[in-house]
Amino acid sequence: GESVGLHLPTLSVQEGDNSIINCAYSNSASDYFIWYKQESGKGPQFIIDIRSNMDKRQGQRVTVLLNKTVKHLSLQIAATQPGDSAVYFCADPTGTASKLTFGTGTRLQVTL
């Protein structure tokens, strides 16, 4: 069945470095993806989204890249800060009610 999964359950980066969080998907018909950030004790927070007619989308310090050929997307965070420490999920809405399928997440740890 369709799934959205994440590589590497934990990613440790030094403050100021760039972070890259990867996500693979299996449904070639998926045409829209959303990235969420979840800080400890809080609900997931929307970061950025991308549609399949785009290869790249940029936000504030974040960039999402989509490679439809290999069904892979990545979230890049520039100049990682301690406040970026969180679990990051990619999600794939399906159906008319936009039900989200989440992976288990990647925990980003920022070291000083």
Partner 1 sequence: DAGITQSPRHKVTETGTPVTLRCHQTENHRYMYWYRQDPGHGLRLIHYSYGVKDTDKGEVSDGYSVSRSKTEDFLLTLESATSSQTSVYFCAISPGQGTNIQYFGAGTRLSVL
CB of 76 to partner 1, least distance (A): 20
Among 57, 71, 100, 109, binds partner 1 (CB under 8 A): 100
- HSE toward the beta carbon, residue 40, CA cutoff 13 A: 5
Among 84, 89, 108, 110, binds partner 1 (CB under 8 A): 89
CB of 49 to partner 1, least distance (A): 6
CB of 65 to partner 1, least distance (A): 19
3-state helix, strand, coil in the chain (%, to 5): 5, 55, 40
Q: Could you say which residues in the range 10-69 bind partner 1, by CB under 8 A?
A: 32, 34, 36, 41-46, 49
CB of 43 to partner 1, least distance (A): 3
Task: State how far the alpha carbon of 90 is from the alpha carbons of 6, 14, 111, in Å.
Answer: 8, 22, 23
Rounded Cα distance, 61 and 82, in Å: 14
Rounded Cα distance, 33 and 56, in Å: 12
Residue ranges in contact with partner 1 by CB under 8 A: 32, 34, 36, 41-46, 49, 89, 93, 96-100, 102-105
